[in-house]
Amino acid sequence: MACEIVWAEAALAFPNVEQFTRAMETLPVTFSAIDEKAAIKAAEVWRRYRAEGGRRNRIASDFLIGAHALTEAERLPTRDGRFYRKYLSGLKVLEPVP
């Protein structure tokens, strides 16, 4: 499953909506909107990140994606595993092998 942020970012990689839709169906990846629980978790994590001196280069979408994965899927494919492991305890991070 993927939230609206991931959905929009992934769609950019395709020349048109039809190809994107076919790809998501083939995988299969379904659309799952961020709910209130995940949004609140994202705010908590973002607050902690900033309190620990985290720089402003992280934006809301980073925290929303991670919190959504934690509350809905318990795993997240990412190239930024260190960040997500630190701030979202319990989230299984799947990193690509170089």
Q: What is the pLDDT of residues 45-91, one digit of tens each?
A: 999 999 999 988 889 999 999 999 999 998 999 999 999 999 999 99
What would the two tokens of residue 97 be? 């092998």
Same domain? For 13 and 59 the reply is no
- Are 89 and 73 part of one and the same domain? yes
Find the helix packing angle between 17-26 and 4-11, rounded to 10°: 120
| Pair 38, 69: CB distance under 8 Å | no
Domain count, the chain: 2
Q: Do 56 and 29 reside in the same domain of the chain?
A: no
Residues 43 and 9 in one domain: no
Query: Does 98 score more than 80 pLDDT?
Result: no
Domain that holds residue 15: 1-33
Read off the pLDDT of residues 14-33 as tens digits, 9 standing for 90 and up: 999 999 999 999 999 999 99
Same domain, 53 and 90: yes
Same domain, 53 and 83: yes
Is residue 44 domain-shared with residue 19, that is, in the same domain? no
Q: What is the pLDDT of residues 83-96, one digit of tens each?
A: 999 999 999 999 98
pLDDT at position 56 is 85
Query: Do 28 and 41 sit in the same domain of this protein?
Result: no
Place of tokens 């990412």: 78
